[in-house]
Structure 1
Amino acid sequence: MAVTVAVGTHWGDEGKAKIVDFLAQRHDAVVRFQGGANAGHTVIVDGKKFIFHQIPVGLIHPGKTCVVGNGVVFDPMEFLKELDEHTSTGIDPKDRLWVSDRAAVVMPWHKRIEAIREDAAGEGAIGTTKRGIGPTYLDKISREHGIRVADLLYPKSFRDCVRAIVSDKNDVFTKVYGAEPLDADKIADDYLNAAERLRPFITNTSALLHDMIRSGKRILCEGAQATLLDIDHGTYPFVTSSNTTAGGSVTGTGIGPTYISDVVGIVKAYTSRVGNGPFPTE
């Protein structure tokens, strides 16, 4: 079998990036399958610190294919910022960094509504990163206001879609929260400009991964957050908005479950918790 899944077994901060960095040396591709820019995977190599939010840790290894899977909620602006940071160190992503055309896109209204609700919740706040992760998954599942990476490649329909969604979202912002309305055309302009840089990275990553498996390549699925933050199996409602356990790697990549040969659970010597919520060992 060709696929290994690496996940945290606590509430995050288990040092997943260090283990993924080690395991990447014996794999041909590293894939993110859930979460988004709310991750902060840190690796130090020769005294240099590399922080990965959406891009897989494997990017620091020359020749390794890196994939942002369909289960990730993708923030184009943060991705490009992160990419620029890594390329400035001499890392070359050409022809080895790919983004799923099916990944849901984080939009400005997602970040705004999350920040408003978290601030209003006070002591009852979940403790999100305010990066719009939950609201993006919500729109993805509701289907009414969901935008996918592939939509960025069709300027006219994308702009029409943004205008329609912003019209609905502005009703909520102005009438419910008393906030300023969003400018649909400015948002569309910003994202379409980003899309031109993103175009070379966008592909059908599920097909890419299956082709790699069929050719004998080994795949490493890099989990973000951790098991006890899983939307179904964690300490609900103080959890993240995705399936962080090994099963999430199947739906988040398009890789069939029978291809998974190993699951690596990453443990830390003492327990800590990321975000708010119950912490039994306190």
Structure 2
Amino acid sequence: MMPSAAATDWDLFQSLHAVLEAGSLSAAARQRGMTQPTIGRHIEALEQRLGAPLFLRSPRGLQPTDLALELRPRLEDMAAAVASALRDVEGAATQTSGVVRLTATESVGVEILPPILADFHRRHPGIVVELTVSNRHADLTRRDADIAVRMGRPTQNSLVARKVGVVHLGLYAAPDYAARSGLPASVDELDQHPIIGFDSVVPPLQGKVDIGRPITREIFAFRSDSDVAQLAALRAGFGIGACQRAVAARYGLLPVLEDDFNIEMEMWLCMPEGLGMTPRMRLMFDHLAEGLKACIQGQPPPTQNGRP
């Protein structure tokens, strides 16, 4: 049976999406499990169908045209819809199988979620967990993810949301740094110490911290937009930086100017309306709520039958 025109068009558009995401025909071919000539033919067929070029060839590689850039958000929506449909279909037969896709910030995804998810897997080994770690909010209405851990109240009305608790952050330093350089006794003395902070992406903490002067990237001796990199520098004794209280306690970091820097951020769980009727989504949502709440309160990670 010959494939329908709609199926053929979808295949072509999948190749276009892959090239836009990967940046080259060869990388898109690897992503799709096809050959580079096949991907090239798909792009040429689409250009003939649309009557306009999608890419310009240059010494720097493929440069998407305005038409390709205009199509890109629609292709992303289509890809997200297909991915979410596949997740739904994979777990349709039973509540203990299928995929749950999560999204969380770097610090939560790397430092807090792993033991919680490990316990979930022990309880429900048939459910596959996918985790996107990013400080950018995934679009849950488009099903970029099924469940999100957000550091702040969600604003979309189409989401089911539950407040997990309040996360406390402050300034900390490693013990060896404190032994070597001492710790500031006042906010003014912070100028005498190397500070760890952001590079180009202003974090949501901006506006919640007052050091008596504007907080810009120029005041930091170590700059990174990665929470994980900042924490690594903090633990290595590079200088003073912000950290969640629970994470700081785990690594034995020392509080700095506790009375001046006690920042509170709400932690929320959210998912699209309707997913709560899917058993594996509800299992994960409730498990995360319990585990995250325990972590915020300083309790040990969840266990099953006494196993950590």
Higher relative contact order, structure no. (Cα contacts within 8 Å, ≥ 6 residues apart): 1
Normalising by structure 2, report the TM-score. Answer: 0.26
Q: Higher Cα Rg: structure 1 or 2? A: 2
* Higher percent of residues as strand: 2
Normalising by structure 1, report the TM-score. Answer: 0.28
